[in-house]
Structure 1
């Protein structure tokens, strides 16, 4: 909870997700990625100032081989030390040369200080990148496409069949995902999870044809869409757009200040998000060091 509060407070200073948003951090525990105590203490390092206040966090996502830096804007000078810690504790073997080590770190397009630090420390920018898009919830809502034959609704608390169908839809959209109903049920116990903001388009046969999850925090009143997807058997019908528009409508009712969505370089996903008003974005580039 201490890191959670740190992420909330630094958003208020940065006015963007320079650091992680809550859902992504909570997933480190509630998805079981770092939930084992020995992993948590081995792979997560905290930095405090002289008053004992948290000012930096270094950790991987899912597994070693990558390093993420959560940093207070007044303590960016610590990033070099955080990099050295990551290289000593989180480096992975290089696939092409097992005797070597490699580590990946991301830097936003606007973050010249980190880009310069990474270059000085022997990192090179790779071709891999992703978008962090945003829009104001107060913007006019786009028209929702008609969804004849489908019902757009929220997940129901304590309904196991909803959880099973949601997990099945996620696996169908993201083949590399091994999400089970048990995984989803565990994540539903995370502090920021809200059933009323996890929306689905239910087909006539009861399966979930599309989904859009929203995480909303009421300190800065920001929200994040994750995950978003449409089952391969139901694409081309505007279902993802329909569930996202319903999510935006609910965010307006919550008086949200900003809503974000992250994605890779996939053209269809970016086209969808732009059509819904997510026209502002930062690009996060992956940097890598091999030694």
Structure 2
């Protein structure tokens, strides 16, 4: 496939001699993950994003992989990519072996052009603080919107038991619970996130449609028969990642979120996790909550964006 095969899809001008570009397909997910992992190892010391993360994002029904991506190749080897995941959200990575060649600048121009064509007035992405991508984006005029952190519950760390108040109980979600879980999580996240509501089908692609999903990955907090909280946790090798945790506003301030976290960590350890992670940022104001249950910052990220 090349850009000409996808209507309205521009190629990538400005590449160094010998490199080519083309739209990506689902068959490229593994190669894309390899590039992301190589850059994360260089920036963070280990890879955090998984192949399942890439697949879950690309399989959203609303998403067109070929129309929304560009890959840079050195011969048959993918060495960089860009992905306009939403009209104002992009992801990019350049293999460290190819840093300093102007590829990141070419990808930034491509992302801005695609975002503008999608009707967005701003586009941004999240990168490790102080990384090569962070420095490049600063040079290109991208401004910091917020700071984010990955927090880790270190291997072997003991978490103090947090019993639920009387009347509350946790259980695995069933298929019949999916729409209610989506509603509660999206309502909670949209209190502080400036984006459109994620369609149920797209949410499902990232949660119960994620490769390897098991029922214990989606936990519901009930007050009697009333759904008041949701936790989404999954395994990535020997690590567990709490991707989403939400409590309904009228039940906050009762110590429920710490108890939900302890439950998620415990379930993950029962399924082989040695470490547990989650992410938060300055918009949510929840870092202190996570540190109180023993989590520590493992990496710091900045979300940068530019006006189009």
Output the CA distance in 2 between the equivalents of 1:71 and 1:251.
Answer: 32
Is the alpha carbon distance of 1:177 and 1:18 closer, same or farther for their aligned partners in structure 2, counting shifts above 3 Å? farther
Alpha-carbon offset, residue 232 of structure 1:
1.0
SS of the equivalent of 2:286 reads helix
- 1:32 matched residue in structure 2: 61
Q: In the alignment, which of 41, 48, 60 is matched to residue 84 of structure 2?
A: 60
Output the CA distance in 2 between the equivalents of 1:184 and 1:287.
Answer: 24
Structure 2 portions without partners, runs of 5+: 1-25
- 2:253 matched residue in structure 1: 236
8 Å contact kept, 1:20–1:70: no
Alpha-carbon offset, residue 24 of structure 1:
4.8
8 Å contact kept, 1:230–1:239: yes
8 Å contact kept, 1:66–1:104: yes
CA deviation profile, 1:196-254 (whole Å, cap 9, x unmatched) = 121121110x2221111012123xx3332111110112112222221211111122233
CA deviation profile, 1:98-129 (whole Å, cap 9, x unmatched) = xxx64424332231x22332233x31433423
User: Given the two structures, how large is their TM-score scaled by the length of structure 1?
Assistant: 0.78
Q: In the alignment, which of 94, 99, 105 is matched to residue 76 of structure 1?
A: 99
- 1:163 matched residue in structure 2: 178
8 Å contact kept, 2:242–2:277: yes
Is the alpha carbon distance of 1:62 and 1:151 closer, same or farther for their aligned partners in structure 2, counting shifts above 3 Å? same
Alpha-carbon offset, residue 274 of structure 1:
1.1
Output the CA distance in 1 between the equivalents of 2:91 and 2:107.
Answer: 9
The CA RMSD measured in Å over matched residues stands at: 3.2
Q: In the alignment, which of 115, 122, 140 is matched to residue 90 of structure 1?
A: 115
Number of residue equivalences? 272
SS of the equivalent of 1:229 reads strand
Alpha-carbon offset, residue 41 of structure 1:
1.3
Output the CA distance in 2 between the equivalents of 1:55 and 1:256.
Answer: 31
8 Å contact kept, 1:214–1:247: yes
Structure 1 portions without partners, runs of 5+: 96-100
Alpha-carbon offset, residue 152 of structure 1:
1.2
SS of the equivalent of 2:148 reads strand
8 Å contact kept, 1:211–1:227: yes
Output the CA distance in 1 between the equivalents of 2:226 and 2:199.
Answer: 15
Output the CA distance in 2 between the equivalents of 1:186 and 1:66.
Answer: 18
Q: In the alignment, which of 196, 200, 216 is matched to residue 216 of structure 2?
A: 196
Output the CA distance in 1 between the equivalents of 2:117 and 2:124.
Answer: 9
Q: In the alignment, which of 264, 286, 290 is matched to residue 303 of structure 2?
A: 286
SS of the equivalent of 1:90 reads helix
Output the CA distance in 2 between the equivalents of 1:174 and 1:7.
Answer: 27
SS of the equivalent of 1:83 reads helix
SS of the equivalent of 2:230 reads strand
Output the CA distance in 2 between the equivalents of 1:281 and 1:145.
Answer: 27
- 2:5 matched residue in structure 1: none
Alpha-carbon offset, residue 59 of structure 1:
0.8
